[in-house]
Amino acid sequence: MRESWKKSLKFAIPLFVGLTLTVIAYFILLRFDGITGAFSKLISTLKAFIYGGVMAYLLKTPYNWIEGKMKKLLKGKKESLAGGLSVVLVLIIAILVIMILLDMVIPALVNSIASIINEIPAATAKLEKTVRKFAADNAVIGNYIYQGIDALKNTGVEWLTDKVLPELGGLMGGVAGAFSSVFSVFYNIFLGVIICIYLLLGKTTFARQGKMIIYSIFKRKTAEKVLDEICFIDKTFVGFFGGKILDSAVVGLICYVFCLILQLTLGMKNAVLIAVLIGVTNIIPFFGPFIGAIPSALIILMDSPLCCLIFIIFVVVLQTVDGNVLGPMLLSGSVGLSGFWVLFAITLFGGLMGIVGILVGVPVFAVIYDLIRRLVYYMLEKHEITEYLPQKQEVKEDEPEAKK
């Protein structure tokens, strides 16, 4: 009787769990819009804490390094000041880096826009002259070109009259909304900086509290595995972003040197702007080089088509070297994904989360990939299928002791 009860229970528990999960999944699908709306509202409410957490995580590595140096410097004196001084120094360094980048980019960007605007009339006149000459040499094609230009003019007038002018009435409301959004962003960033300071100063306390919670939920052996996985996640993210930032800085420096050479030899302009665009966008995996190269090439094209052609060839060579030599050397082992899975991760998380997904998709997928790999290895070992498991290195036995 007892064995029969155990068999029934063994069959009923998975069935109950499956039915429960099915009901939960059906409820989520039925109320999907409401759940996503509530989640979006929660994210919007906690945006300042998200900003602060991201800032603290990005500044964690330099903060730990500065704090270690400060503790050695203040040893035996006022070691408790090390944390506060470290926070002040790391924030000053971060602000200085941002100000230097903005100081390099904004003036060059304004000059580029002004140059493009000044070049538009000459470029338009040149294009019109070329079209007229081509139309004069080819009467039939020229007739179609002039018909297209007349149609474009008529359509443009109708578009301005029917679409643009009615929309101008609501322009002030849109401007007010834009100012409100900008103010909200700056307010959240200001609160985020304060939260970042609290997180950096209390990182030891928060880490200890987190360990207490994990040990209170799981048994010691399971809790240690959870903590090991958290350490692996942290190592993956720090290794990926640290390596990508260093890689992007090197790529930007190489691009700047090359643009300086073009500036001295062929008179190319905006070397700083081009180098910063290439370096910053290189942080984005796979698509980043193209995102930075396209606007850079257009800026150079307005000034010199020859320099644009040389720049495109240089970018192709630079990204080939970066993708096959420089990047793997600086990112060695940080994610452990092949090119296929990197592209898959960027496409998936980019579609789900936008630009944030493009930035964090690779390390997030690397963690998911590692969890699935460990689960597969565990199940293979449990089923005693060892031919697919990684081969462990054999330890050579010690040589027998010499005869006495």
Q: pLDDT averaged over consecutive 10-residue blocks of the chain (404 residues)?
A: 61 70 72 72 83 87 86 71 86 88 74 69 68 68 67 60 56 52 80 90 88 90 88 83 83 89 84 84 76 83 82 87 72 65 78 74 83 85 77 48 43
- What pLDDT score does 393 carry? 46
- pLDDT score at 395: 41
Residues in the chain: 404
55/142 Cα distance (integer angstroms): 59
Residue 167: burial class (beta carbons within 10 Å; 0-12, 13-18, 19+): exposed
Report CA-CA distances (Å) from 249 to 80, 238, 275, 317: 35, 16, 10, 17
Our measurement of the distance from residue 291's CA atom to the centroid of its chain's CA atoms, rounded to an integer in Å, reads 13
Angle at 403 between CA 397 and CA 404, to 5 degrees: 130
Give the pLDDT confidence score for residue 245 in this predicted structure: 83
The pLDDT score that the predictor gives to residue 139 is: 66
So what's the pLDDT on residue 48? 86
Outline where 218-338 has alpha helix (H).
220-266, 271-281, 288-303, 305-321, 327-330
pLDDT of residue 86: 87
**Per-residue confidence (pLDDT) for residue 12, from 0 to 100:** 66
pLDDT at site 397: 43
Predicted pLDDT of residue 142? 65
Helices (H), 322-383: 327-330, 339-353, 355-382
User: What pLDDT is attached to residue 401?
Assistant: 44
Q: Give pLDDT, residue 402.
A: 43
According to the model, what pLDDT value does residue 212 have? 92
Whole-model pTM?
A: 0.66
Tokens of 343: 């592209």
